Amino acid sequence: MSAYKECLHRLKLTWLTKITLYLIVAFSAIINSAQATPCFDNPQMAYNYLLAQENLKTQALTQRGVNINRASEGELTSLNGIGSSKAQAIILYREMFGDFKNVDELAKVKGIGAKTIEKNRARLQVQN
């Protein structure tokens, strides 16, 4: 029996919960195969571990800069206050009018104001 299955077997959970946890752990292992996932004796510890891992991933995303001249929709949506439709509007604007010369030009995009720019200024980059 694999370490993951053995760990889940010891938790004495319902079969659906075991399958869900197994899939989450297996998916996490595939994404980040360099880091081993520990085995826990109770569900609360496993849940806390998964939350901590998710917080680390979110923190890494929020600390990375976003080049608004080359960013994909997914990268743009990692910005505070930018959803899918605003990200698409940014991409459409730069395709129609060319690259942004500075971060403040982002305000020319419909739906993006000075407050959104200020919330994200530390992460926004303009590179060609």
Q: What is the pLDDT along the chain (128 residues), one digit of tens a residue?
A: 556 556 656 666 666 776 776 777 766 666 655 555 677 788 888 888 888 877 767 666 666 789 999 999 988 988 889 999 999 999 999 999 999 999 999 999 999 999 999 999 989 999 87
Tell me: do 55 and 70 sit in the same domain. Answer: no
Tokens of 105: 């030009």
User: Could you tell me the end-to-end alpha-carbon distance of the chain, in angstroms, rounded to an integer?
Assistant: 52
Tell me: do 40 and 11 sit in the same domain. Answer: yes
Does the global pTM surpass 0.85?
no
Domain CATH code at residue 105? 1.10.150.320
Tell me: do 50 and 73 sit in the same domain. Answer: no
| Count of domains for the chain | 2
Q: Which residue range is the domain that position 82 belongs to? A: 66-125
Percent helix / strand / coil, the chain, rounded to 5: 60, 5, 35
Tell me: do 54 and 99 sit in the same domain. Answer: no
Tell me: do 53 and 70 sit in the same domain. Answer: no
Tell me: do 77 and 115 sit in the same domain. Answer: yes
Tell me: do 72 and 58 sit in the same domain. Answer: no
pLDDT at 118: 95
